[in-house]
Amino acid sequence: MSLTYPLDTVRTRLQLDEHLRSAPTVQILAQLAQQEGVSSLYRGIVPVIQSLFCSNFVYFYTFHGLKRLVVGEQSAPKDLLMAMAAGCTNVLLTNPLWVANTRMKMSGVEEEVSRRPGGRQQVTSRRYSSLADAVRRIGAEEGSGALYCGIRPSLLLTCNPAVQFVAYEATKRYLQRLYPGVPLSSTTVFLIGAGCKALATVLTYPLQMVQAKLRHDGGVARGDGTRETRIIRILVLLFKRGGLASVFKGLEAKLLQTVLTAALMFVLYEKIARFVFLILLGRRK
């Protein structure tokens, strides 16, 4: 995440800043660095890593705990159910962190835009000192319900890691049957992880767009001044305003960032898991 964070910044800005026009990811990176400074590309990286740590711990712990409880041979349907159950548990426990995280990533963006020639004036923006401060203040000022903005698309998005892990596990089992006794190389694991994550990201990106809108502003503004919070209605509004380009705005940066992150995560995960199991087996002997 540290290596690919600027790509995540571009994705978030494209999703939430309606005044930022779509362009090649490299061009937007250069534009933000020039207008707001290189540090703007890493705005909110600490709370993101903190949230990612908690989220991955909950997900992997739950997923492998369920995997140990399942009796019988592993299969794609079983992997799917376990992945979705782990995803739902993760969402329910960590959604407040990601709401706060989204607010912190966009904190200060409005002031930066207002300083540019012709920028918006009389802009207010809330700043938070830490992830815990953001969670506390959002809950105190907006109510506990605000910490669960975007919970519905987040729960639906459990199909993202479900698709990813089912495809990953199925591909890994196929290769192991094809080449019995031959451990998968880091390159193979990297490619499998990247391909599976790309597939899951493209299929679920519209839900990720809705999720970001709800977490940041509580929805999308209607013409009458109210905000739309229903998933389908938000997607319809976005489509009417800009077509598919509006619904999939930021997809290029999201694909680059998530595919690289997921592939690296799978490689490191396999290496660390193998190392830990070797230590445990050695102790038992």
Cα separation of 159 and 155, whole Å? 8
Q: Is residue 80 assigned to a domain?
A: yes
Total number of domains constituting the chain: 1
Q: Is residue 201 assigned to a domain?
A: yes
One-letter identity of residue 126: R
- Ranges in the chain, pLDDT < 70: 76, 108, 110-126, 284-285
Residue 155 confidence (pLDDT): 93
Residue 11 confidence (pLDDT): 93
Residue 113 confidence (pLDDT): 53
Q: Is residue 121 assigned to a domain?
A: no
Neighbours of 268 (CB within 10 A): 12
Give the containing element (helix H, strand E) for 227.
Answer: strand 227-228
* Residue pLDDT, tens place only, 10-32: 999 999 988 888 889 999 999 99
Q: Is residue 273 assigned to a domain?
A: yes
Q: Is residue 211 assigned to a domain?
A: yes
Q: Is residue 269 assigned to a domain?
A: yes
Residue 27 confidence (pLDDT): 93
Exposure letters 19-54 (e unless 16+ CB within 10 A, then b):
ebebeebeebbeebeeebeeebbebbbebbebbbeb
CATH of the domain at 175: 1.50.40.10
Q: Is residue 241 assigned to a domain?
A: yes
Q: Is residue 97 assigned to a domain?
A: yes
One-letter identity of residue 160: N
Residue 58 confidence (pLDDT): 95
Domain membership of residue 268 as a residue range: 5-114+129-284
Residue 115 confidence (pLDDT): 53
Residue 123 confidence (pLDDT): 41
